[in-house]
Structure 1
Amino acid sequence: MTFFWIILGYLAGSFPTGFLAARLVKGVDIRTFGSGNVGATNVGRLMGKKWAVFVSVTDMLKGAIGILAARACGINDPWTIACTGFAGVCGHNFPVWLGFRGGKGVSSTYGVVFFLFPPLSFLLAPLGGIIWFVLLKAKGYVSLASLISLWSLPLIAGFFSFPFPYIASTIALATLSTFRHRENIRRLFEGTESSFRKNKQ
């Protein structure tokens, strides 16, 4: 039965929100624009802040659909929930509909984390979001803010004594996003990463 929820989580997470938004509104394949990423940041470069927010929120929700469906059916096993949430983010990052070329999973991860272990996770996700916002304003790099905020989640979850499967899932999700951000990390070390501040000038 766990396998069913993992597959459901993956398929829900793989819904290509950013790709469809860019295609339907602008007639553009978002994979050929900017960073080539289908996530909210690249959509924002093409379509503006409102569409970036829309894609980000939708990506949060789709990542969590598997978890919400499992809980609605009475599934509360921590490992099942954790694996289903991880699968949802994998769906966003590696969507079968787009040749497994998807986003970097930050918004989807936060959607999963928000519903991971309520009610405590209702606090965990916003705390990570605050860290992301503060770092973005202080440093100007979306990638840096995203990575540090994601790696803060297992620490915060441990502080609040989350069950081990949920802490393990936040570590796995942060690791996955780090892998997806490997080019951004390289550019950060080289000093060539795109800055939010420069983009606004």
Structure 2
Amino acid sequence: MICLFWVLGGYLAGSLPTAYLVAKRFRGVDIRTFGSGNVGATNVGRLMGKKWAVFVSLVDMFKGGIPVILAHLFADNQTTVAMVAVASVLGHNYPVWLDFKGGKGVATTYGTLFFVSPWASFFAVPASGVVWYLSLKISGYVSLASIMSLFSMSLLLPALGAPEAFGWSAFLLAFLSSWRHRSNLVRIYHGKEDKVGR
């Protein structure tokens, strides 16, 4: 029951629809009807500019990270912390407030995994950010860079000594992100996905 409490709390925190609320409040636009229709920072950037995209990304990171921190402090169980991390991202991707139609979970995954296993995750997550940047520069595709960075994180965490539970949760979240980006991957395969700067 205690584990369930933390997992539910992680899900509800993650389900805060940051992109939807920001676009609705400051532009009067339902972000689901604009651009890609995705409820995430990239689509907010298309509508409102880079600064708002950064703001949404940071909030999405912290809404995933805070439940993980609290679970570390009060649940004190690696499996529970790993489950809270996954639940937070599931909340972002499938928010109860938006009929379970949310974002793709990249920023929230970064936020949750940054705090799962100090000090290993304090290195692994920024290193994965470098993978994201380099992959974006080489490929030009945000979706592909995001997937590659998350899979690199799932390898880096156990390599740096993070407990097994956190390595598996990172792999699960990388796979989930790949699933959420499946339409992007299909467009990349067919040469129809827009590159950054186009």
Q: Which TM-score band applies after superposition, normalised by the shorter structure?
A: over 0.9
The alignment yields a C-alpha RMSD, in angstroms, of 0.8
**How far is the alpha carbon of 1:65 from its aligned partner?**
2.1
TM-score by length of 2: 0.97
Q: Is residue 2:148 matched to residue 1:148?
A: yes
**How far is the alpha carbon of 1:197 from its aligned partner?**
2.3
Separation in 2 of the partners of 1:108 and 1:27?
A: 24
**Residues 120, 161 of structure 2: 8 Å contact kept:** no
- Which residue number corresponds to residue 160 of structure 1? 160
**Residues 43, 52 of structure 1: 8 Å contact kept:** yes
- 1:153-197 deviation digits (Å, cap 9, x = unpaired): 111112112211000000100011111001001001001112112
**Residues 39, 103 of structure 2: 8 Å contact kept:** yes
- 1:59-104 deviation digits (Å, cap 9, x = unpaired): 000012211122232x221110000010000000000000000000
Aligned pairs, how many? Answer: 197
**Residues 9, 64 of structure 1: 8 Å contact kept:** no
The ranges of structure 1 where at least 4 consecutive aligned residues each deviate by more than 4 angstroms after the TM superposition are none
- Which residue number corresponds to residue 31 of structure 1? 32
- Which residue number corresponds to residue 172 of structure 1? 172
- Which residue number corresponds to residue 112 of structure 1? 112
Separation in 2 of the partners of 1:117 and 1:159?
A: 12
Separation in 2 of the partners of 1:158 and 1:69?
A: 22
- Which residue number corresponds to residue 8 of structure 2? 7
**Residues 13, 89 of structure 1: 8 Å contact kept:** yes
**Residues 60, 107 of structure 1: 8 Å contact kept:** yes
**Residues 14, 89 of structure 2: 8 Å contact kept:** yes
Separation in 1 of the partners of 2:15 and 2:191?
A: 32
User: Within 5 A, what are the aligned runs for 1:44-193?
Assistant: 44-73=45-74, 75-193=75-193
Separation in 2 of the partners of 1:181 and 1:76?
A: 33
Change (3 A) 1:158 1:68: closer
Separation in 2 of the partners of 1:27 and 1:197?
A: 26
**Residues 61, 111 of structure 2: 8 Å contact kept:** yes
Separation in 1 of the partners of 2:18 and 2:106?
A: 14
- Which residue number corresponds to residue 20 of structure 1? 21
Q: Which runs of 5+ in 1 are unaligned?
A: none
TM-score by length of 1: 0.96
Match of 1:144, as an amino acid? L
Separation in 1 of the partners of 2:133 and 2:158?
A: 22
Give secondary structure in 2 for the equivalent of 1:57: helix
